[in-house]
Structure 1
Amino acid sequence: MNVVVDTAPALRQEDARSGVGLHGLLWLTWRQHRWTLVATLVLAGVLVGWMSYLSMELTDLWHQCHETFCPEASPQGRRLGGSAPLSLTLAALERLVQYMPLLVGMFIGVPVLSREHEQRTLLLAWSQDVSPTRWLWTRLGALGLFVAAVTAVVGVVSDHLQRTTALVAPVPLFDYLPFLNTGMLPVAISIAWFAVGVALGAVIRRTLPAVFVVIVGFLGLNYLVQWRYPTLMEPMSAHRPIGGPNLDVLRHNALVVEGGMIDYGIDGPSGAFDAAGRQLTGVELQRLCPPDNGTGETLACFADNHLEQHLLYQPGSRIPDFHLIVATGYLGLAAVALLTVWWIVRRTDLSAG
């Protein structure tokens, strides 16, 4: 007598052990997020291509200007002027790269859990053979790797564009936007806001309110970093002759933290110091060296009287250190957000969807 043995349960267990469950989760993640991922790839491709083209154009300008800054009065300098199309395009691309992490948080991070709550599909998703924790980490791993890869490519091209721009125009890489769009920061900030978006979607459980909170949080933290990053390390000090040659320490992408402005005609400090180290008032400075309406006599007067500015600055050599500090802070925020999501998932009541 032949005995028929049902081997399906054993085969299913073997398939699960061999990773079929992982493949299914990856396929499900792709199915649910495919249009967002495709749109992200298209936008990133356009951004990378556009920035690469402008990098080549700026390199050509650099060669035309004999491999130095382009004078403002030159045809090349006018192309880099404030209202020139090339300058406006560069400014727009800077903003796109700056707000890229916000788009990642809104459109990739928030829907991971908020959409499951809104559509009440958690009970179905987590009652299968895959545990909620594995479901969570597989999804976060796949989407996180996608975010890291795409933003890394954009970040590399953005870094090259910013450095090329600094060759032809006096735009220090320590200024906030070039600083934010270079090095490891585009990747670190994007990962952070992806994780924060997932966490807010898990907490609020509604997509639109979570997106609103992501926007407010991104703008708030962005302004906080912009306000605090110049003093993350103790600034260095320098004395700069007014009307004379610039100090070498203020070249090469240095960031002026305090000083560098001259105020005329006020009763308060002017920012100019005499040879004895005493700061002149604005009224005293105007009396000593009256404005010349651009003839150059005022600058000559500053030099003849040995007037100086006292500056606090961060040298350009510290940019990698500042990148590391800011990136560490954002990755720490990402770690806190992921731990929050893990804790919420473990405590989620499946009966509530």
Structure 2
Amino acid sequence: MSVAAHPVVAVETSRRGEFSGLLWLTWRQHRWALLCAVGLTVVLTGWLAWLGHEMTVYLHQCHDRPCLPGTPQDAALSSETGPFRVADHLLQFVEYEPLLIAVFLGVPLLAREHEQRTLLLAWSQDVSPQRWLWTKTALLGGCTALCTAAISLAADRVARVMSDVSGGGLFDGDTFLDSGMLPLALGVAMFAVGVALGAVIRRVLPAAMAAVAGFVGLFVLVGYRYPYLMTPVSRFRAIGDGTSDPGPVGGPNALKVSGGITLSPDRVGNLYDAAGRPLDAAGLRRMCPFTVPDDFAPDRLLPCMTRHHLMTRLVYQPADRIGSFHAILASGYAGLGVLALAAVWLSVRRTSLTAG
């Protein structure tokens, strides 16, 4: 029997041939970026895994508590070449890894074809422009997802160990942004953004610069606004109660949004009397009179404020919201990726093959 006598078989064989051809083409055009991505993933995940293991050993030696200052374990952890400092630097690199993905994997996918004027050749073959685009995007995006998933797992583990070792919270700054598989979500989203910028701008270098500017803007926006993704919880805390965290309600990993006291001879902020009424500088002086201006200092005022049961208002995000915050940010990154892919689809539909 001939293959031509069976149209379904012929179509299936044709599709397999198209896929294998696009697989080879993707590898041929992007092999160095893919090899570098895989190599970087292996090195980074292995290094993070080793640092996590090393810090865990020190943590066990300190009876699963933060090591006391002056102990050999604390000295080894906090030295410039110690595992804690090195892991902190690597986690900062993980935060910028999505930018590398956008610049070296996402942007060249279409921008290089436009710049070298090879789209006419690529899209005038048996493979349709849409199949060419989505197959290559799926192949490169899948590689991106696998690599960033491995790095995200290693970064999440190290971030949690660092939190245990230092006694710091999981909800603050770099530790939060590197945990909960957020590098995976942002990496895939930035890949899609890079492809979209390359499709719209059609030049590699300008599209790469736009990706840098967009990433920096997104990074600053997320770092500044993520504490307010949900309405913070607030409560009063008595002055001098000796607590350094939001307390049992917030948990040790709670994110402190605000709560510091402002004290100066002419200004007092975030200070309340026992009835919950705000105090100003004059009211505090009446309650705690001093004759020397220099005595208007926290260490001198503390006994008086404690005696009068003064309070400060603490605004924070409870620790049990960490998972919800991760989900909100990951959903936002996913939405950004979907919008970027929609922009790619529209750009490709409007691309004239005669333009190259």
Fold match, TM over 0.5? yes
Query: What does the per-residue CA deviation read over 1:81-104, in whole Å, with 9 as the maximum and x for residues that have no partner?
Result: 596744432321121110011110
1:112 has 2:115 as partner: no
> Which moved further from structure 2: 308-317 or 201-210?
308-317
1:306 has 2:309 as partner: yes
Distance in 1, Cα, partners of 2:135 & 2:173: 35
**1:47 to 1:310, Cα distance in 2 relative to 1, 3 A:** same
In the TM superposition, residue 41 of structure 1 has moved relative to its aligned partner by 1.1
- The 8 Å contact of residues 274 and 309 in structure 2, kept in 1 or not, is answered as yes
- Over the matched positions of the two proteins, sequence identity in percent amounts to 46
SS in 1 for 2:164: helix
Distance in 1, Cα, partners of 2:307 & 2:75: 32
**1:170 to 1:271, Cα distance in 2 relative to 1, 3 A:** farther
In the TM superposition, residue 65 of structure 1 has moved relative to its aligned partner by 1.8
Distance in 2, Cα, partners of 1:251 & 1:182: 18
Q: Map 1:1-150; keep pairs closer than 5 Å.
A: 13=10, 16-81=13-78, 85-150=82-147
In the TM superposition, residue 265 of structure 1 has moved relative to its aligned partner by 1.6
Query: What does the per-residue CA deviation read over 1:223-265, in whole Å, with 9 as the maximum and x for residues that have no partner?
Result: 1112221111111112223322422234331011121x23232
> Which moved further from structure 2: 243-252 or 203-212?
243-252
1:272 is aligned with what amino acid?
L
Q: Map 1:96-245; keep pairs closer than 5 Å.
A: 96-245=93-242
In the TM superposition, residue 116 of structure 1 has moved relative to its aligned partner by 0.6
- The 8 Å contact of residues 80 and 169 in structure 1, kept in 2 or not, is answered as no
In the TM superposition, residue 299 of structure 1 has moved relative to its aligned partner by 5.4
- The 8 Å contact of residues 55 and 84 in structure 2, kept in 1 or not, is answered as no
SS in 1 for 2:230: coil
Q: How much is the aligned-residue C-alpha RMSD, in angstroms?
A: 2.7
- The 8 Å contact of residues 235 and 313 in structure 1, kept in 2 or not, is answered as yes
In the TM superposition, residue 31 of structure 1 has moved relative to its aligned partner by 1.0
**1:281 to 1:72, Cα distance in 2 relative to 1, 3 A:** farther
Unpaired segments of 5 or more residues in structure 1?
Answer: none
What count of residue pairs does the alignment treat as equivalent? Answer: 344
Distance in 2, Cα, partners of 1:147 & 1:14: 30
> Which moved further from structure 2: 146-155 or 170-179?
170-179
- The 8 Å contact of residues 263 and 282 in structure 1, kept in 2 or not, is answered as no
Distance in 2, Cα, partners of 1:231 & 1:287: 39
SS in 2 for 1:100: helix
In the TM superposition, residue 50 of structure 1 has moved relative to its aligned partner by 1.2
Unpaired segments of 5 or more residues in structure 2?
Answer: none
- The 8 Å contact of residues 84 and 162 in structure 2, kept in 1 or not, is answered as no
- The 8 Å contact of residues 242 and 307 in structure 1, kept in 2 or not, is answered as yes
Distance in 2, Cα, partners of 1:188 & 1:80: 30
> Which moved further from structure 2: 57-66 or 23-32?
57-66
Query: What does the per-residue CA deviation read over 1:114-167, in whole Å, with 9 as the maximum and x for residues that have no partner?
Result: 111111111111111000000000001011111111101100111010111111
SS in 2 for 1:279: coil
